[in-house]
Structure 1
Amino acid sequence: MTREPGTSVRARLALSYAAFLMLACVLLLGAVWAFLLRNVPLRYLVPHPADLPRIVDPGSYGPAVFAIAVATILVFLLVFGLGGGWLLAGRMLAPLRRITGATRAAAAGSLSHRIALEGPGDEFRELADAFDTMLGRLEAHVEEQRRFAANASHELRTPLATTQALLDVARADPGHDTAELLGRLYAVNSRAIALTEALLLLGRADQRSVAREHVDLSLLAEDAVETLLPPAEARGVTVESVADPARVVGSHALLLQLTTNLVHNAIVHNLPGGGAVRIATGTRAASVVLTVENTGTPLDPRLVSTLAEPFRRGAERTRTDHPGVGLGLAIVRSIARAHDGTLTLTPRRGGGLCATVELPPDRSASTTVPVRAEA
């Protein structure tokens, strides 16, 4: 988009400085005339070029040279105001030029550039610091998206390549067992569908444009437990639920997906037999809390800090017959962020993982119930 030419801010500030200086001088001289020279003949108040040399002669000082002296002072103040205003405006706008340069560098793709403005904590410093913070977050977001795109392309290419390999083998060997081929193709296709649906859900959560309605996390936790109870029993995992009222405002579908992902993750990444999962909901201080804990082997805190990244399946965690797509906790974190909440993962004492989601409470809720402490 082309920009129409116009007067620069520096020039407008210089003109403003000069205009205010001239106005102050005129008001001052008007006060002098009103209080001291009101009775002076009018011919002394009209400047005449012939009187100009007299203003440098001390013997000629008096009302007779007042007019020409006023005209000379006004011309001097006009030049002084324009020059001084131009210099002062340039000095004051110097930080703005640095911010403009950083903006153009960011628009060109250089997100690593920072203004790092020094000096007093004025409005320009506040603007520069806010811009640096925005650039830092934008750089981290872009890097995360690039990493996610690379991982997603790799993950989506894997089932397609596997399908292609299976078809190549079947075509090269017409006598191959068709039932086995169909079974393997079905499994690979199911995984590709699950991965695609997870990617779509993650993208929907990252958009932060979710429908808002009144939701009780305790009811969602009960629904998730009821849905996932059969696979939990099949793995010998016991599920305990402490569902106190936990009312929030958000998308019922996304929050149900969040709860289901946490419970499912706790079930499939558990001890092979005799494991346990505990779900608790309630309020804590100024937030609504959903906590899901599961037993398992001890986890390295450095590993736990990366589990919410896309396609991180936790190689050091207890493995099961469910490989997953590596997006469960990433989806949980994105849904929590879309609802202005947080996801915190911590290693559980004695082994396993504790996942805590904190969301803003529903302000229209009339009662709050604290989260019960684990026995």
Structure 2
Amino acid sequence: MGLRWTIRLRLTLLCGALFAAAGAALLAVTYLLATRALPWAGIEPPRPPDLGLPGPPPGVPDVPDPASRADDLRQFLLASVLGLVLMTVVAVGLGWLLAGRALRPLRAMAATARDISARSLHRRLAVRGPADEVKDLADTVDGLLDRLEASFEAQKAFVAHASHELRTPLTFERSLLEVTLADEDAAAATLRTACLRVLDSNRRQERLIAALLTLARGQRGLDHREDLDLAVIAATVLDRPAAPDHPAAPGRAAGEGPVVEAELDPAPTVGDARLVERLVANLADNAVRYNVPDGRVVIRTGVHGGRPTLCVGNTGPVVAPEDAAALVRPFTRLERGRTGDGGGGDGLGLGLSIVAAIAGAHGADLDVCARPGGGLDVRVAFPPPPDPPGPPPLP
């Protein structure tokens, strides 16, 4: 097993190298001062006091022996080098200890992260200490774990709900067919009625699967982007004729359900036109479906605060303000005030979930607010379109 080039080892070697380089520079300067005079200093050492002792004749300088001076300098240099080597070793040891102490929280974070699995996403690093870079990293990882845990819980809840939604009609269809086939004397009309009920249930499953695919596509992100206008898409959705199995679809005449009013100002943006069309259709369909008889639905488009915006409001059942945001979760339904409950018009509980996924894929802000008198106001603010490129430079 080779030597691991760890951060602790690199910090230790860096600390030792810096100390050795600084010590060598200090030693070189000290040796230069000891061997040579510095003419730019302009300072002479003080003359020794005259104590009346016999000495050299006047005018003859007291010059030390060159051989003795050179030997003193060699001993000084050798002692300084040995001291530098010793202190470098000490600095490396201290650097190893300090680096280990500084990196101890990182080792604890790595050990905790290794122990966290899909079954223990509730655990957190919870690093304590001063608000330094390590604490910031630990808090960032804890925030990531919070989002990951929420995503796992949402995924498990979504799978459980989807399984239930798909299993219930299958169980109903099997029971209906078994009961019908168990009657050997069943008439053709009875068999035809059973087949029609199975087909009706099958259509509901098809809508559920299509909604799940749209939700998955919206959560995956955008494959391509194109220029579009929210006003044009909203007008296309409102002009579409109501489907036979959607008695609560937009476009119903007055007296047959809520009246739909449109105020469509230009709102250019960039995105996937098919997904944005599904977003508008889901909001309009939900606004009509979850309404009161002879209620109103208002659809507005325009640019607000520099952002292309779609607003859909309706006069529906009273929703608690704290429950409005929960409606974007999959399979969350309003059980009261539903229009068009008959036939296949009951909701799947995925309408606003698909809206939230498509809005997220486009980088749009989704705001769901409950009206005091009943109903919802849904606002989707898309990012502004990019600025057009400027004219090419002149040759």
TM-score class, shorter: 0.7 to 0.9
User: In structure 1, what is the equivalent of residue 193 of structure 2?
Assistant: 180
- How far did residue 145 of structure 1 move? 0.6
In the alignment, the residues of structure 2 paired with residue 254 and residue 300 of structure 1 have an alpha-carbon distance, to the nearest angstrom, of 29
Paired residue secondary structure (1:288):
strand
Aligned residues: 348
Paired residue secondary structure (1:315):
coil
Does residue 1:7 correspond to 2:17, yes or no?
Answer: no
Does residue 1:270 correspond to 2:291, yes or no?
Answer: yes
User: In structure 2, what is the equivalent of residue 217 of structure 1?
Assistant: 230
* 8 Å Cα contact 1:258-1:335 kept in structure 2: yes
* 8 Å Cα contact 2:12-2:92 kept in structure 1: yes
- How far did residue 117 of structure 1 move? 2.8
What TM-score results when the alignment is normalised by the length of structure 1? 0.86
* 8 Å Cα contact 1:294-1:354 kept in structure 2: yes
User: In structure 1, what is the equivalent of residue 268 of structure 2?
Assistant: 247
Task: Choose the corresponding residue for 1:112, options 122, 126, 150.
Answer: 122
Where in structure 2 are the equivalents of 1:138-217 lying within 5 Å? 138-174=148-184, 175-176=186-187, 177-217=190-230
Where in structure 2 are the equivalents of 1:55-74 lying within 5 Å? 63=73, 65-74=75-84
User: In structure 1, what is the equivalent of residue 18 of structure 2?
Assistant: 20
Paired residue secondary structure (2:287):
helix
Identity in percent: 38
User: In structure 2, what is the equivalent of residue 258 of structure 1?
Assistant: 279
* 8 Å Cα contact 1:299-1:316 kept in structure 2: no
- How far did residue 269 of structure 1 move? 1.1
- How far did residue 43 of structure 1 move? 9.1
More helix by share: 1
Paired residue secondary structure (2:269):
strand
Paired residue secondary structure (1:361):
coil
- How far did residue 319 of structure 1 move? 4.8
Larger radius of gyration: 2
Task: Choose the corresponding residue for 1:336, options 359, 378, 382.
Answer: 359
In the alignment, the residues of structure 1 paired with residue 238 and residue 376 of structure 2 have an alpha-carbon distance, to the nearest angstrom, of 18
In the alignment, the residues of structure 2 paired with residue 276 and residue 216 of structure 1 have an alpha-carbon distance, to the nearest angstrom, of 24
Gaps of 5+ in 1: 47-61, 367-375
Paired residue secondary structure (2:85):
helix
In the alignment, the residues of structure 2 paired with residue 124 and residue 230 of structure 1 have an alpha-carbon distance, to the nearest angstrom, of 58
Paired residue secondary structure (1:235):
coil
Gap change, CA 1:42 and 1:168, over 3 Å in 2 = farther
Paired residue secondary structure (2:116):
helix
Amino acid at match of 2:256: R
In the alignment, the residues of structure 1 paired with residue 258 and residue 382 of structure 2 have an alpha-carbon distance, to the nearest angstrom, of 28
In the alignment, the residues of structure 1 paired with residue 67 and residue 25 of structure 2 have an alpha-carbon distance, to the nearest angstrom, of 19
- How far did residue 276 of structure 1 move? 1.1
Task: Choose the corresponding residue for 1:312, options 332, 336, 349.
Answer: 332
- How far did residue 130 of structure 1 move? 1.5
In the alignment, the residues of structure 2 paired with residue 154 and residue 45 of structure 1 have an alpha-carbon distance, to the nearest angstrom, of 96
Amino acid at match of 1:158: T
Amino acid at match of 2:228: V
Task: Choose the corresponding residue for 2:137, options 127, 140, 143.
Answer: 127
Paired residue secondary structure (1:307):
helix
* 8 Å Cα contact 1:44-1:67 kept in structure 2: no
Where in structure 2 are the equivalents of 1:279-290 lying within 5 Å? 279-290=299-310
In the alignment, the residues of structure 2 paired with residue 354 and residue 76 of structure 1 have an alpha-carbon distance, to the nearest angstrom, of 76
- How far did residue 98 of structure 1 move? 2.8
Kindly provide the CA deviation profile for residues 328-373 of structure 1, in whole angstroms up to 9, marking residues without a partner as x: 111001111111112221112322111111221113379xxxxxxx
Amino acid at match of 1:315: E
- How far did residue 109 of structure 1 move? 4.7
Gap change, CA 1:365 and 1:78, over 3 Å in 2 = closer
- How far did residue 121 of structure 1 move? 3.2
RMSD: 2.5
User: In structure 2, what is the equivalent of residue 52 of structure 1?
Assistant: none
Paired residue secondary structure (1:245):
coil
Gaps of 5+ in 2: 38-64, 241-248, 390-395
Gap change, CA 1:149 and 1:234, over 3 Å in 2 = farther
What TM-score results when the alignment is normalised by the length of structure 2? 0.81
Task: Choose the corresponding residue for 1:350, options 363, 366, 373.
Answer: 373
Does residue 1:77 correspond to 2:87, yes or no?
Answer: yes
In the alignment, the residues of structure 1 paired with residue 69 and residue 162 of structure 2 have an alpha-carbon distance, to the nearest angstrom, of 88
In the alignment, the residues of structure 2 paired with residue 43 and residue 291 of structure 1 have an alpha-carbon distance, to the nearest angstrom, of 97
Gap change, CA 1:364 and 1:20, over 3 Å in 2 = closer
Paired residue secondary structure (2:125):
coil
- How far did residue 82 of structure 1 move? 1.4
In the alignment, the residues of structure 1 paired with residue 130 and residue 263 of structure 2 have an alpha-carbon distance, to the nearest angstrom, of 53
User: In structure 2, what is the equivalent of residue 58 of structure 1?
Assistant: none
* 8 Å Cα contact 2:288-2:339 kept in structure 1: no
